[in-house]
Structure 1
Amino acid sequence: MKDFIIIGAAQAGLSMAYHLKKNQKDFLIIDKEDEIGASWLNRWNSLKLFTPTEFNHLEGMPFPTPKGHYPDKYEVANYFKTYVEKFDFPVQLNTLAERIEKEDYHFVIKTNKGDLNCKEVIVATGPFHIPYTPKFHNNISEDIFQIHSNYYKNPKQLKDGATLVVGGGDSGFQILDEISEQTNKKTYFSGNTDIKTLPQELLGKTLWWWFTVTGFLSFSKDSWVGKKISKSKQPIIGTDVKSIIKRDNVIPVGYTINAENNTIKTTIKELDDVKNIVWATGYKPNFEWIENIELTKNGYPKHHRGISSTKGLYFIGLPWLHTRGSATLGGVKKDTKYLADKILQS
């Protein structure tokens, strides 16, 4: 029986593993993917971090690119692989955790590879679980190619003709930028165009430098400022939204509200020439596979800085686990340090 099992081998799980290894704990990391870094490699090909190198370091090993560089997904995945090798973490891949049950004073993790037993469990599966698309997407003709941003790689996946990109977050605008620029085809945008944007650099300093010195990333979710930030619409970082929207082949159509066969209904017009739809519409959390877990109205586990109401069960890497920076590559180490200290002192 292991002291700990960490579920998830991305930044949150690896950051926690560092502290367990340092304190000579007997632990195992399991992950459903077939390689370290797969959660990043599975995203679209041109994905880059919003944070420069100097804000992406995990504990004990600097991110190996020059200061001011914005790493792509391949560099992040390679960093994780090197991190695992450097600290010789025990990792079991291709292992999907299907259920967590508590029996007396230990946990049983039921997986596709059989049961695993441990004294304590750290769930580090991140915030992106079930790709969300509105129900009416089922009403759309099979002639229209549909893909969620989770599975989108590049414009070569698309059929010839007009594309509708649905979703006004960072992913939506990055994908809109790429498709409209590379295909030069008519590209409809469905989402809010009146949105705040922030440059990656301001007055000679990176945006994240300003976030750090102003304490923007350090406000607790329970503080007055933290509550205001968490409830406000998050700005788009590093993407020139206005210039994208002004392109001749980009047509804003408001929000997508319904569809039937080859007709897509939006708040501005009905579209009947769409050949592709990219749904950059986010994700829904899924923690229902954990026995007797208490969930919030948004579907996330109830916890205090990662400590759940079930003794021995912990969470790391959730959005706003404690601060705005909790789910970022560079920000997760503060949460893991706090949680590790609490776990190892108990």
Structure 2
Amino acid sequence: MKEHYEFIIVGAGPSGLQMAYQMEKDKRDYLVVDAADRAGSFFRTQPRHRTLISINKRFNPFPEFEYNMRHDWNSLLCDDPTLLFKYYSKELFPPADALVRYLEDFVTRYELNISFNTRILNIDREPNNGKFKLTAKDGRVFTCKVLIIGTGALGDKLPTDIKGVELCDTYSQHNIDQEAYAGKLVCILGRGNSAFEVADHLAGHAALIHIFGEKKIKYAWDTHFVGDLRAVNNNVLDMYQLKSLHAYQAFKIKSVSKAENGKLAVEIEDLVAHWNPPGRIRLTAYYDNVIICTGFRYVDLSLYADKIKPDTVKHGKFPALTTEWETSVPDMYFIGTPMQSIDRQAASGFIHGFRYNVRTLYHLLQEKYNKVPYPRIQVDHDLTSMANAIIERVSTAASIYQMNNFLCDILVVPDDKKSKAEYLNDLPKQQVIDSDRLKKEKHVFLVVLQYGFSRFGDIGNHPNDFVHIPDFERPYCGPFLHPTVYYYQYGKLVDEADLLESLLLRFDGAEFKEDNPHKQRNRVKNILNKHLKLSEETFNEQFIASPEVFKSIFTPLSPEETKLLGDGSEYDGHCKPMTIDMMGMMKEM
């Protein structure tokens, strides 16, 4: 084993293995170092209750490999179609032990260059040549030009403002034997998946569970962010609403101390803004166990020499990152779950998201350090070819689906009609907007999949209330995930066009018998043609195949029914929601 490498990756978890795969595939000069004796050591003990919340959906209605990866949240990207997580578990929410086996097999299959049992104790930078210098516990020293940190979660992030916090258990270390909590009073601090995972595990044994969090719970079905509270973990909320002793309260824990009765005295504070007069109140409650579930920390600043300590955000929880995942220290990058430092809307915190971020970062690194152009495909300079390229991607690609409105595709079209257009996949959207990729080109079409709930204004509608067919005359008014094509000229946004929603997230054909199967493709052709002037034709975007078909399937509401809808003035300036309860209306008549 040599001492100097162009790239060193610290950590052999999923993100480190994904980056190593990309490096190995292209025979780059790299090394992975990891303190453990095998890959994926974090998942040998975490999640604590050994069930992943990453979906393992094995059966889907379409044959494309890419489309099926949309619903495989655990596999890494590779060129072996047999090395998929679905062959390791049949469970929709699989056991963590299956992921450990999968990651170990991934290392073996690709013979990745990993030095296990190599704990890095210090990271410095040589002043004369700028090389990073990594010193291991066994005395070995490694140097590299580019440092990539993929260490993932480094332990529980504990509150610093609770007196007596050392008396509490933590998520990663608490006893998971349910019988140990039989008949006990349990307090859990946190409002995310880890807190509710613990509560759900203990709900049938503990006599009482109180979950305390200082803020309103964020539900994944509201925010569409997979890191917020998922339905698979929220059984305790049912019990709370049905007054079955377990409960969630927005209390702040001020202190924990040992009481004379052998229990833990927990001093809590509540903001009572609804009282007259409003104020704060402090109370004391007694519990047998207090478990802190406030998430993990992802940066260990003690590893770094003072002059190269990376900046952090969220009170030190995450590294501060650029739109290319570079830290405040040049040539130092973070991969894996910490990539969510700049993404709290898509899936950067999970394997199914950061596997694409890592692949993109690899290509950006090759472009920056080895002058290898970012991958692109050549597309014929005609409306059909260019529209087909866009439609195929938004209909099947897993990357821009998982990393919605974070990763984007761009179609760069030259003025010279004899030259081919270029299509680039999976670039960070903000990086594209900030960089010269747009500013130097006259015609760039940027493509994302994104949600549109913000377009309905503050009307108090729950996402699960949007259960009707969207307004096909106004594709802009699509609340759920759908494609948007933006047109830029020399870096300035000039135009945009939304495609209609699809229940199946397919935009390449008919979804119902009465559909116009070409509507989505034609809509893309029209925005391309509007700015490229390649045809005199206007392409039919109508949702229904023909006016005759529409007439046969659509019945207008009667004046009496229409009156029940109101005048719609409350929606002025916004899209009209799809939340009208028609059955309720009919009962009123």
TM superposition score category, shorter chain reference: 0.7 to 0.9
CA spacing shift, 1:140–1:77, aligned 2, 3 Å: closer
| C-alpha deviation, 1:85, in angstroms | 0.9
User: How far apart, in 1, do the equivalents of 2:214 and 2:327 lie?
Assistant: 36
**Equivalent position of 1:42 in the other structure:** 45
Moved more, 271-280 or 79-88: 271-280
Residue 159 (structure 2) pairs with residue 134 (structure 1): yes
Shift of 1:235: 4.2
Contact 1:49 1:73 in 2 (8 A): no
Is 1:113 aligned to residue 127 of structure 2?
no
Report the residue type matching 1:134 in the other structure.
P
Which of 267, 270, 278 in structure 1 is aligned with 2:269? 267
Query: Relative to 1, partners in 2 of residues 1:158 and 1:279: Cα closer, same or farther, differing over 3 Å?
Result: farther
Aligned partners of 1:195 and 1:236 also within 8 Å: no
Q: Separation in 2 of the partners of 1:34 and 1:138?
A: 37
Which amino acid in 2 is paired with 1:116? F
Q: 1:236 aligns with which of 220, 226, 230?
A: 230
Give the distance between the partners of 1:68 and 1:190, measured in 2 at CA. 31
Alpha-carbon spacing, 1:190–1:344, altered in 2? closer, same or farther (3 Å): same
Distance 2:26 2:142 in 1: 22
Q: After superposition, what is the alpha-carbon deviation per residue over 1:105-148, rounded to whole angstroms, capped at 9, x for unaligned?
A: 4221122122222232211112x334223346553796xxx311
**For 1:301 and 1:194, how far apart are their aligned partners in 2?**
26
Partner of 2:326: 307
Could you say which residue in structure 2 is the equivalent of 1:340? Answer: 362
Aligned to 1:203: none
- Aligned 8 A contact 1:155 1:178 in 2: no
Amino acid at match of 1:96: R
Determine if contact 2:51/2:93 at 8 Å carries over to the other structure. no
Q: Which runs of no fewer than 5 residues in structure 2 stay unpaired?
A: 58-71, 260-264, 271-281, 370-589
Cα distance in 2, alignment partners of residues 35 and 244 from structure 1? 41
Q: What residue is the counterpart of 1:57 in the other structure?
A: 75
Provide Cα deviations, 1:153-182, integer angstroms capped at 9, x if missing partner: 51348466211111110110111111122x
Q: Secondary structure at the match of 1:264?
A: strand
Inter-CA distance 186–271: structure 2 relative to 1 (3 Å threshold): farther
Aligned residue identity for 2:258: N
Q: 1:135 to 1:302 in 2, by over 3 A?
A: closer
Pairwise CA distance, 1:47? 2.8
Answer whether contact 1:98 1:111 (CA < 8 A) is retained. yes
Q: Determine which of 106, 117, 125 is the counterpart of 1:94.
A: 117
Q: Which has the higher contact order (CA 8 A, sep 6+)?
A: 1
Do the aligned partners of 2:212 and 2:250 also contact (CA within 8 Å) in 1?
yes
Residues 243-279 of structure 1: per-residue CA shift (max 9 Å, x gap): 1424624144542422233310223674553111111
Local SS of the residue matching 1:131: coil
Alignment-derived partner of residue 219 in structure 1: none
Residue type matched to 2:6 in 1?
Answer: D
Could you say which residue in structure 1 is the equivalent of 2:13? Answer: 10
Distance of 1:58 and 1:296 partners within structure 2: 28
Residue in structure 1 matched with residue 348 of structure 2 by the alignment: 326
Name the SS for the 2:254 alignment partner.
Answer: strand
Deviations 1:282-324 (A, max 9, x none): 2334242334244144331333322345443222112425542
1:52-96 Cα shifts (integer Å, max 9, x gaps): 252322111321246772222111111111111111112222322
- SS of equivalent residue, structure 2 residue 288: strand
Shift of 1:236: 3.1
Check 1:258–1:82 CA distance in 2 against 1; reply closer, same or farther (3 A cut). same
Compared with structure 1, are the counterparts of its residues 294 and 132 closer, same or farther at alpha carbon in structure 2 (3 Å cutoff)?
Answer: closer
TM-score scaled to structure 2, two decimals? 0.48
Return closer, same or farther for 1:136/1:310 CA change in 2, 3 Å cut-off.
closer
Deviation at 1:341, TM superposition (A): 1.1
- 8 A Cα contact 1:294 1:302, kept in partner: no
Cα contact 2:320–2:328 (8 A) shared by 1:
no
Contact 1:99-1:110 within 8 A present in 2 as well? yes
The count of residues paired between Structure 1 and Structure 2 equals 313
Q: Is the 8 Å Cα contact of residues 50 and 97 (structure 2) preserved in structure 1?
A: no
Does the C-alpha gap of structure 1 residues 113 and 247 become closer, same or farther in structure 2, counting only changes over 3 Å?
A: farther
* 2:219 counterpart letter in structure 1: T
Measure, in 1, the Cα distance between the counterparts of 2:179 and 2:160: 23
How far apart, in 1, do the equivalents of 2:209 and 2:341 lie?
37
Q: Structure 1 stretch 185-194 or stretch 40-49: which is displaced more?
A: 185-194
Please report the TM-score for the alignment, with normalisation by the length of structure 1: 0.78
Q: How does 1:211-250 map to 2 (within 5 A)?
A: 234-241=228-235, 242-245=237-240, 246=242, 248-250=244-246
Distance 2:210 2:266 in 1: 11
Deviations 1:191-247 (A, max 9, x none): 269535357xxxxxxx9xxx9xxxx7xxxxxxxxxxxx79xx934343334314246
Q: Report the Cα distance in structure 1 between the residues aligned to 2:17 and 2:251, rounded to whole angstroms.
A: 39
Distance 2:17 2:150 in 1: 9
1:124 aligns with 2:150: yes
2:174 paired residue among 127, 141, 152: 152
Matched letter for residue 212 of structure 2: S
Q: Percent identity?
A: 18
